[in-house]
């Protein structure tokens, strides 16, 4: 490192000032409401190598530090001052973009004719065309249904707007003026960056700045290595499922083997299920990609809150993802809801990491964020009223030394809810409940964070509820080190009445006047042995009516008499319970997943994914669905799961069948 | 003669500052005495005693007494409030814990949401419901209120907040519940959300109500005992309290709505700063109050600015408050090196105890203040007028230790700390200004607080600020602010209503009706306060947005527009403002009116401050001494002056150091300063450095 350790921090601060300022320019001048509510936009400064070297701490999407930009940069043969490149295409940018609504811009920044770096920003546009308003449909089976695809092209050439390109883009969106407004906000931020970078160069010199960019990335790497080196060498494996594919309802497995050697880390996602014909694929190109490293970056930032925010911190990390899988799909796989899958990647990262370190990594949290929308006819205008009901997430997992967070998890903890008073003023519904459930807290020495119960009633005909991102209706968030698994999400209509229906994951839910909808989000898993929980905390949870007296005794072995912990009786009861119970589970995966994996053991899933990799990527999900159905319904496999040979012969018979029905083709 | 003195007192964490203004001569006298956090009134009384004795003043001459206190703030931060209960609509029991969902830091796996001020056991759900249109859907049962409150009282709850859904639209249920409570439990301190701040948004409204109840009892006791005790000390006038909105109110009001005092300290500082700036002819200011742990920054653009997005500790406060933000580092911020050996400053602070290493009170880590000492900017024997002797050898020791890790000598290490701290402040200031859409180079710095004047010129140079103003008594600007504040109160009424182009007249009729009530309420409030004012004014504004947008813009509603019911002019103002802020407007689009606001201002008489006379010196200004200081990688010979020796018209060339009781001003090379007729040091960047 050539830059001294004082100047490095000064440059780090100066670059942070630039990206924060960019962020606020977008925030203040962006058009779309969505931008302000969810801060779904991003900004940064990118080294010529394609690595982000400055990234804001407090504005915009906070977790895209790992974004790979080298392919997008290489897609343009030559750059001149004043160029601005536009793109939203995952497949020609090597996974820089990951779904079409994110419109990215970047601008080469020159100093006296020399390219120094790039300024980059993006915004989640509320519509880029495609099947549905908003451009995100879970059932979209290829990217062309998800909107207009824009490969990297110059929107400005040497400062001149390419009106033809802009017209073409705007003609393909449902909200052209808003999108152009948002693009202007992005352009303003790029110009801010250009002006400010110039000031830094004039203050500190061009060579210093160039060297500083290099060294900041090196500084990131060094800081990160210092943390990784503390993790014991070894390979830590974990897997979990994505449930939201409403087209097949087959759970999709994400598998990770995380290896550490010295200060190097390897993330190997081999064994992850094939890409599917629904919008859950994550185009990463198998790189050390932002959506594969959110959990890891969160871990690094927890261990060192002052770690420099640049992609250097991911330099020690190598990644393997087989092609044609959910996490490395081939075009034209759809990817609108890739964040549902990315959240599960966070869970498997924590599942693997928590086997290696025991100080900060939590049990599984809610692992979902459902954006629930309601639409109903607007009797005044004749159109529709559409409103987000609430972002529904759930609680975090219990943590080493701390209870889980009630009502919020790390993967979408940046979202804000909507005041009930505004909701009810906007649409004719009555919110009956927006609070924590009673007596459902997953137990642990450090209990899981609580999910939220949301219950509302509709009064008008033709009300429709849709949702994207609903998960964890089938498999619970896992508990850790003796802590219980979390609770399942649940969606019911008219609970407690004769007309009660369990809906599961909402696709499209049509309601009758007076119907009541009850959505429960998951509580996170507990952490640690409940019999070691501080009895006073148990007492407090009883007094606050989070848990019952009975639960205090059965789950925690805490005896409470007249609002006091009876220490003697508690000790006695705890001893009894300890003697009676089985060994503590390092992971409590929940009975549903245990049952599923008895039928469909991880080793069989491994075999199947190996076998499927032999097939063309576009056929795999078809084969997988066929085999999954055959195997899970075949009574032969109820007792004895299928062997490698069973799977192989099943695949071969499907292949034969296909050959037979396809005249003229030969294998 | 009686009644010519005004007394302003500001209770800070470390010192209680007093400022005494003579309305006839225009002179200001100041005094500082250590605070007594356990019983803040002690320091107030001692301060009055010391000040009056020192200056030979009869307390009876004080006819105007304003006082600012951080008791409410500290009560929240230290969680030492009353055992509080909350009555809430059924189904919303966890409103305080769910809050607005958002986590404080999604990248910290050990992050914690703020623990609610009321525990769940004491949040009681009431079977009542009012709809968004104000209609009663489920009537309130007084018996249930009585039972629930009886339970709370039996549990030892001392104060009670009542907040029901849509109460901003229909306050009947809250009023009825309150009536039941006062009838059956007359000793309970109780407040309802509609009394405290009747704005739509149940979490924020409930929260300010809960905060009010939580600090209420303590403040009630404090103000009644203070009033009593100052009378004992010979001050017979009523005690006024400062408010977070930069105004003042009577102690009686403060006892009822103590939540309005939460951010009053910083607010008074900004009011004082704006007053000083205006007098000197500078009305576009970035005010900076640098203390031990942070810098409080505010923007003054002819007027003090307000914000409704403020926080006290981790809690949002939605009432309009003087817009002050904390950035960067303070004198106590600690310098350290991370795993890669990179130099960092803050966010840890050595605070007041043990304080910087040079305090000699056990601090082992190098701080910004230690850097000032090593660089020669602070005089060890004259810090705080010699009341707090510094130990330079301690500063050198810790600097040497840190220097080892950086491969630098102690002076270079100290200078590196300043450079990094300045870069931190730069980054945060630029970010803050970007958030507000302001170019800081259009503004002047006005600095106060213990360390403000020491660091301001360094930062000004970095940011490109041309003018830096250091008032005569930078340490007591809050106390001065107390003396020049107006009587001020805010009112709100949520309308939340769509307006289509054809329904403008209807809206204006509605506004006229609502404002008739709000204005009457506002003027009645002012009347009740009974504070003598010269002028009364009601300022109205409306929060407006395009229908469907998530964020609203505050648009002033001038008298004539309201009286003429001129919808066209009203809408035009909105479209123009929207165009200015977001670069587009759409005159055809439907609008949505959210909140109607009204602020009553009673202007208090401002004593004329007499300028200092230009003193013709018989000999040139003499420095106390010259001192070697280290700055920007070289040694300089700085002239050191005593602030008392400076007179109007004096000129100072950087590098120069000006020492006074409450601060040390460091004018960096590249700035030239003069002393204006009000005693302010006005530093101007030299042309060649522009």
Residues in B 75-94 with any Cβ partner in A closer than 8 A: 91-94
- Read off φ and ψ for residue B169, nearest 5 degrees: -95, -35
Under an 8 A CB cutoff, do A21 and B431 touch? yes
pLDDT at B689 over 50: no
> What pLDDT score does B617 carry?
66
| Chain A: residue whose CA lies nearest to B550 | A33
Q: Does residue B217 contact residue B259 with C-beta atoms inside 8 Å? A: no
pLDDT tens digit sequence for B594-606:
999 999 999 998 8
The alpha-carbon gap from B157 to the nearest alpha carbon of chain A, in Å, equals 15
The alpha-carbon gap from B614 to the nearest alpha carbon of chain A, in Å, equals 40
Question: CA-CA distance, B403 to B196, in Å (whole number)?
Answer: 54
Residue in B98, B119, B420 closest to A10 by CB: B420
pLDDT tens digit sequence for B307-341:
998 898 889 999 999 999 988 788 899 999 999 99
- Mean pLDDT is lowest, of A232-246, A481-495, A617-631, for A617-631
Residues in B 483-522 with any Cβ partner in A closer than 8 A: 496
Question: CA-CA distance, B457 to B683, in Å (whole number)?
Answer: 8
Q: Does residue B448 contact residue B474 with C-beta atoms inside 8 Å? A: yes
Place of tokens 């003195």: B5
The alpha-carbon gap from B261 to the nearest alpha carbon of chain A, in Å, equals 26
> What pLDDT score does B71 carry?
86
> What pLDDT score does A32 carry?
65
Under an 8 A CB cutoff, do A434 and B120 touch? no
Question: CA-CA distance, A651 to B175, in Å (whole number)?
Answer: 73
Among B449, B445, B447, B446, which residue's Cα sits nearest to residue B462? B445
pLDDT tens digit sequence for A412-467:
888 889 899 999 998 899 999 999 998 889 999 999 999 999 999 999 999 999 88
Residues in B 340-379 with any Cβ partner in A closer than 8 A: 340-344
Q: How many CB atoms lie within 10 A of CB A161?
A: 13
Under an 8 A CB cutoff, do B338 and A306 touch? yes
What is the token pair recorded at B428? Answer: 């945060």
pLDDT at A380 over 80: no
Any idea what DSSP says for residue B20? E
The alpha-carbon gap from B345 to the nearest alpha carbon of chain A, in Å, equals 10
pLDDT at B690 over 60: no
Which chain B residues have a beta carbon less than 8 Å from that of A305?
108
pLDDT tens digit sequence for A58-116:
788 888 999 999 999 999 999 999 999 999 999 999 999 999 999 999 999 999 999 99
Question: Which helix (H) or strand (E) element contains residue B130?
Answer: strand B129-130
> What pLDDT score does A667 carry?
47
> What pLDDT score does A127 carry?
86
pLDDT tens digit sequence for B436-456:
888 999 999 999 988 889 999
pLDDT tens digit sequence for B95-122:
999 999 889 888 899 999 999 999 999 9
Among B643, B667, B635, which residue's Cα sits nearest to residue B653? B667
The alpha-carbon gap from A595 to the nearest alpha carbon of chain B, in Å, equals 31
The alpha-carbon gap from A462 to the nearest alpha carbon of chain B, in Å, equals 21
pLDDT at A646 over 50: yes
Any idea what DSSP says for residue A403? P
Any idea what DSSP says for residue B631? E
Write the DSSP assignment of B398-424 as a string of letters. Answer: HHHHHHHHHT--HHHHHHHHHHHHHHH
pLDDT at A664 over 70: no
CA distances A553 to A485, A598, A609, B485, Å, are 19, 31, 45, 60
> What pLDDT score does B392 carry?
95
What is the token pair recorded at A594? Answer: 């245990």
Q: How far is CA B684 from the centre of its chain?
A: 27
Question: CA-CA distance, B615 to B82, in Å (whole number)?
Answer: 56
Among B437, B448, B439, which residue's Cα sits nearest to residue B481? B448
Q: Which residues contact A498 (CB under 8 A, 6 or more apart)?
A: none
Under an 8 A CB cutoff, do A422 and B93 touch? no
Under an 8 A CB cutoff, do A405 and B420 touch? no
- Mean pLDDT is lowest, of A155-169, A601-615, B144-158, for A601-615
Question: CA-CA distance, A106 to A44, in Å (whole number)?
Answer: 9
pLDDT at B256 over 50: yes
Question: CA-CA distance, B447 to B277, in Å (whole number)?
Answer: 10
Place of tokens 């002052």: A306
B351 versus A54: the higher-pLDDT residue is A54
Is the Cβ of B647 closer than 8 Å to some Cβ of chain A?
no
**Local structure of B213: helix, strand or coil:** helix
Q: Where does the pLDDT of residue B612 fall: very low under 50, low under 70, confident under 90, or very high at 90 and above?
A: low
Residue of B133, B314, B340, B498 to mutate, interface with A, max A Cβ within 10 Å: B340
Question: CA-CA distance, B322 to B320, in Å (whole number)?
Answer: 7
**Local structure of A370: helix, strand or coil:** strand
Q: What is the dihedral of CA A354, A356, A358, A363, to 10 degrees?
A: 10
Q: Does residue B19 contact residue B34 with C-beta atoms inside 8 Å? A: no
Under an 8 A CB cutoff, do A20 and B340 touch? no
Checking DSSP bridges between strand B535-546 and strand B591-603, what pairing results, if any? antiparallel
Contacts 24+ apart (CB under 8 A), B186-190: B188/B149, B188/B153, B188/B157, B188/B158, B188/B159, B188/B160, B189/B82, B189/B158, B189/B159, B189/B160, B189/B213, B189/B216, B189/B217, B189/B220, B190/B159, B190/B160, B190/B161, B190/B162
pLDDT tens digit sequence for B29-86:
888 888 887 888 899 999 999 999 999 999 989 989 999 988 898 899 889 999 999 9
Residues in B 199-228 with any Cβ partner in A closer than 8 A: 200-203
Among B595, B591, B596, B560, which residue's Cα sits nearest to residue B578? B591
Residue in B132, B340, B549 closest to A425 by CB: B132
What is the token pair recorded at A515? Answer: 């119907």
Residue of A198, A312, A425 to mutate, interface with B, max B Cβ within 10 Å: A425
pLDDT tens digit sequence for A456-493:
999 999 999 988 899 999 999 999 999 999 999 999 99
Place of tokens 């005569």: B472
What is the token pair recorded at B61? Answer: 């001459």
Residue of A2, A7, A11, A13 to mutate, interface with B, max B Cβ within 10 Å: A13
Q: Which residues contact A579 (CB under 8 A, 6 or more apart)?
A: none
Stretch B525-546: mean pLDDT: 94
Which chain A residues have a beta carbon less than 8 Å from that of B91?
431-435, 455
Question: CA-CA distance, B294 to B449, in Å (whole number)?
Answer: 10
Question: CA-CA distance, A419 to A390, in Å (whole number)?
Answer: 9
Stretch A173-188: mean pLDDT: 88
Q: Mean pLDDT over all residues of chain B?
A: 92
Among A513, A445, A468, which residue's Cα sits nearest to residue A244? A468
pTM: 0.94
E-assigned strands of A243-380? 252-261, 264-268, 317-320, 370-377
Q: Where does the pLDDT of residue B344 fall: very low under 50, low under 70, confident under 90, or very high at 90 and above?
A: very high
Q: Name beta bridge partners: A318.
A: A266
Q: Where does the pLDDT of residue A617 fall: very low under 50, low under 70, confident under 90, or very high at 90 and above?
A: confident
Question: CA-CA distance, B191 to B215, in Å (whole number)?
Answer: 11
Which chain B residues have a beta carbon less than 8 Å from that of A545?
120-121
| Chain A: residue whose CA lies nearest to B343 | A6
pLDDT at B581 over 80: no
Any idea what DSSP says for residue A130? S
- Read off φ and ψ for residue B167, nearest 5 degrees: -65, -25
Under an 8 A CB cutoff, do B200 and A419 touch? yes
Q: Does residue A489 contact residue A471 with C-beta atoms inside 8 Å? A: yes
> What pLDDT score does A378 carry?
82
- Mean pLDDT is lowest, of A25-39, B24-38, B42-56, B612-626, for A25-39
Checking DSSP bridges between strand B159-163 and strand B189-192, what pairing results, if any? parallel
Under an 8 A CB cutoff, do B119 and A544 touch? yes
Write the DSSP assignment of B457-517 as a string of letters. Answer: HHHHHHHT--EEEE-S-GGGHHHHHHHHPPEEEEEEEEEEEEE-GGGHHHHHHHHHHHHHH
Question: CA-CA distance, B542 to B504, in Å (whole number)?
Answer: 14
**Which alpha helices (DSSP H) does A119-274 contain, by range?**
163-170, 176-204, 206-228
Question: CA-CA distance, A426 to A417, in Å (whole number)?
Answer: 15
pLDDT at A193 over 70: yes
CA distances B160 to B82, B212, B216, Å, are 10, 9, 10
Reported ipTM: the value is: 0.92
> What pLDDT score does A663 carry?
66
């Amino acid at each position: 490192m050539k830059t001294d350790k004082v100047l490095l921090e000064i440059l780090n601060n100066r670059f942070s000032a630039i990206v924060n300022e960019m962020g606020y320019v977008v925030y203040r001048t962006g058009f779309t409401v969505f931008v302000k509510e969810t801060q779904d936009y991003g900004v940064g400064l990118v080294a010529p190598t394609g690595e982000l070297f400055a990234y804001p701490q407090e504005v915009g999407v906070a977790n895209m530090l790992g974004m790979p930009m080298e392919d997008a940069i290489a897609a343009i043969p030559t750059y001149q001052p004043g160029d601005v490149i536009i793109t939203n295409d995952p497949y020609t940018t090597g996974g820089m973009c990951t779904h079409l609504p994110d419109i990215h811009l970047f601008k080469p920044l020159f100093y006296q004719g020399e390219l120094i770096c790039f300024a980059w920003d993006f915004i989640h546009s509320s519509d880029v065309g495609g099947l549905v308003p908003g451009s995100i449909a879970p059932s979209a089976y290829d990217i062309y249904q998800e909107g207009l695809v824009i490969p990297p092209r110059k929107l400005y050439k040497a400062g001149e707007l390419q009106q033809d390109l802009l017209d073409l883009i705007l003609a393909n969106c449902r909200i052209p003026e808003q999108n152009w407004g948002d693009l202007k906000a992005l352009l303003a931020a790029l110009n801010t960056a250009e002006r400010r970078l110039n000031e830094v160069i004039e203050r500190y010199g061009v060579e210093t700045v160039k060297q500083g960019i290099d060294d900041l990335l090196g500084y990131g790497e060094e800081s990160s290595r210092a943390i990784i080196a503390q993790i014991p060498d070894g390979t830590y494996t974990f897997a979990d499922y994505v449930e939201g594919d409403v087209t097949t309802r087959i759970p999709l497995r994400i598998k990770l083997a995380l290896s550490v050697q010295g200060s190097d880390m390897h993330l190997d996602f081999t064994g992850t299920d094939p890409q599917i014909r629904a919008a859950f694929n994550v185009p990463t190109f198998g790189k050390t990609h932002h959506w594969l490293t959110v959990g890891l970056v969160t871990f690094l930032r927890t261990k060192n809150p002052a770690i420099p925010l640049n992609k250097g911190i991911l330099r020690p990390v190598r990644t393997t993802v087989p092609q044609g899988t959910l996490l490395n799909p081939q075009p034209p796989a759809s990817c609108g809801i890739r964040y549902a899958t990315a959240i599960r990647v966070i869970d498997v990262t924590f599942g693997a990491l928590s086997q290696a370190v025991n100080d900060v990594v939590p049990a599984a949290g809610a692992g979902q964020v459902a954006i629930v929308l309601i639409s109903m006819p607007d009797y005044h205008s004749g159109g529709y009223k559409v409103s987000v009901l609430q972002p529904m997430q759930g609680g975090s997992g219990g943590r080493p030394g701390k209870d889980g967070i009630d009502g919020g998890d790390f993967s979408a903890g940046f979202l804000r809810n909507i005041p009930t008073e505004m909701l009810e003023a906007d649409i004719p519904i009555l919110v009956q409940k927006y609070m924590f459930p009673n007596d459902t807290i997953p137990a642990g020495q450090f209990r899981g964070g609580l999910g939220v119960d949301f219950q509302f009633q509709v009064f008008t005909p033709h009300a429709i509820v849709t949702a994207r991102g609903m998960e964890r209706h089938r498999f619970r968030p896992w508990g850790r080190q003796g802590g219980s698994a979390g609770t399942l999400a649940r969606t019911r209509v008219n609970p407690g009445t004769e007309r009660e229906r369990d809906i599961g994951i909402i696709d499209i839910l049509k309601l009758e006047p007076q119907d009541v909808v009850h959505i429960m989000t998951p509580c996170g898993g507990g952490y640690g042995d409940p019999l070691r929980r501080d009895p006073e905390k148990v007492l407090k949870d009883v007094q606050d009516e989070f848990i019952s007296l009975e639960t205090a005794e059965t789950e925690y072995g805490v005896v409470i008499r007249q609002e006091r912990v009876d220490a003697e009786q508690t000790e006695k009861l705890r001893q009894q319970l300890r003697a009676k119970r089985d060994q503590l589970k390092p992971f409590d995966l929940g009975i549903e997943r245990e049952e599923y994996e008895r039928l469909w053991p991880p080793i069989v899933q491994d075999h199947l994914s190996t076998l499927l990799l032999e097939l063309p990527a576009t056929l795999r999900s078809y084969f997988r669905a066929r085999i999954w159905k055959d195997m899970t319904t075949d009574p032969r496999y109820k007792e004895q799961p299928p062997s490698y040979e069973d799977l192989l012969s099943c695949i071969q018979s499907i292949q034969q069948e296909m050959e037979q029905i396809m005249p003229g083709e030969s294998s | 003669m009686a009644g010519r003195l005004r007394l302003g007192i500001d209770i800070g964490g470390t010192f209680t500052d007093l400022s005494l203004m003579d309305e006839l001569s225009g002179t200001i006298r100041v005094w500082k005495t250590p605070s007594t956090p356990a019983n803040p009134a002690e320091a107030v009384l001692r301060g009055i005693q010391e000040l009056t004795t020192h200056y030979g003043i009869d307390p009876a001459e004080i006819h105007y007494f304003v006082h600012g206190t951080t008791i409410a703030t500290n009560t929240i931060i230290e969680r030492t409030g009353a055992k509080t209960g909350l009555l809430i609509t059924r189904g919303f029991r966890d409103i305080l814990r769910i809050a607005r969902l958002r986590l404080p830091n999604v990248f910290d796996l050990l992050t914690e949401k703020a623990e609610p001020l009321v525990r769940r056991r004491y949040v009681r759900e009431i079977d009542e419901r009012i709809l968004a249109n104000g209609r009663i859907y489920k009537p309130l049962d007084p018996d249930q209120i009585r039972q629930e409150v009886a339970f709370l009282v039996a549990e030892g709850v001392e104060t009670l907040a009542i907040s029901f859904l849509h109460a901003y639209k229909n306050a009947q249920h809250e009023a009825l519940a309150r009536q039941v409570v006062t009838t059956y439990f007359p000793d309970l301190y109780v407040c309802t959300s509609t009394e405290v701040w009747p704005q739509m948004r149940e979490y924020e409204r409930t929260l300010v109500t809960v905060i009010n109840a939580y600090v209420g009892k303590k403040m009630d006791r404090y103000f009644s005992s203070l009033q009593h005790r100052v009378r004992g000390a010979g001050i017979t006038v009523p005690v006024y309290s400062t408010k977070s909105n930069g105004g003042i109110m009577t102690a009686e009001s403060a006892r009822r709505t103590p939540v309005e005092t939460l951010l009053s300290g910083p607010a008074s500082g900004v009011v004082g700063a704006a007053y000083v700036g205006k007098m000197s002819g500078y009305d576009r200011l970035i005010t900076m109050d640098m203390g031990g742990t942070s810098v409080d920054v505010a923007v003054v653009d002819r007027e003090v600015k307000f914000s409704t997005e403020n926080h006290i500790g981790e809690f949002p406060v939605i009432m309009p408050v003087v817009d002050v933000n904390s950035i960067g580092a303070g004198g106590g911020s600690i310098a350290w090196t991370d795993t890669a050996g990179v130099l960092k400053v803050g966010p840890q602070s050595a605070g007041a105890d043990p304080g910087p290493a040079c305090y000699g009170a056990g601090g082992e880590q190098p701080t910004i203040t230690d850097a000032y000492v090593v660089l020669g900017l602070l005089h060890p024997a004259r810090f705080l007028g010699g009341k707090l002797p510094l130990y330079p050898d301690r500063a050198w020791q810790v600097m040497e230790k840190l220097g080892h890790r950086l491969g630098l000598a102690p002076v270079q290490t100290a200078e590196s700390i300043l450079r990094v701290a300045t870069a931190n402040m730069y980054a945060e200031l630029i970010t803050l200004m970007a958030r507000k859409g302001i170019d800081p180079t259009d503004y002047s710095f006005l600095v106060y607080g213990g360390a403000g004047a020491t660091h301001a010129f360094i930062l000004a140079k970095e940011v490109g600020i041309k003018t830096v103003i250091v008032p005569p008594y930078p340490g007591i600007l809050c106390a001065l602010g107390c003396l020049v504040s107006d009587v001020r109160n805010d009112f709100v009424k949520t309308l939340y209503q769509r307006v289509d182009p054809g329904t403008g007249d209807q809206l204006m009729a509605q506004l006229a009706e609502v404002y008739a009530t709000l204005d009457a309420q506002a003027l009645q409030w002012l009347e009740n306060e009974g504070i003598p004012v010269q002028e009364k004014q009601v300022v109205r504004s409306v929060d407006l947005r395009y229908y469907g947008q998530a964020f609203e813009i505050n648009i002033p509603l001038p008298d004539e527009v309201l009286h003429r019911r001129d919808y066209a002019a009203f809408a035009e103002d909105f479209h123009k403002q929207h165009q200015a802020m977001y670069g587009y407007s759409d005159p055809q689009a439907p609008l949505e009116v959210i909140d109607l606001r009204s602020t009553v201002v009673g202007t208090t008489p401002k004593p004329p401050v007499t300028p200092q006379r230009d003193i013709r010196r018989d000999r040139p200004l003499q420095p106390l001494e010259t001192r070697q200081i280290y700055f920007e990688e070289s040694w300089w010979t700085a002239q050191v002056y005593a602030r008392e020796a400076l007179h109007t018209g004096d000129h100072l060339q950087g590098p120069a150091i000006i020492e006074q009781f409450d601060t040390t001003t460091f004018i960096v090379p590249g700035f030239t300063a003069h002393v204006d007729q009000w005693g302010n040091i006005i530093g101007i960047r030299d042309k060649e450095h522009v």
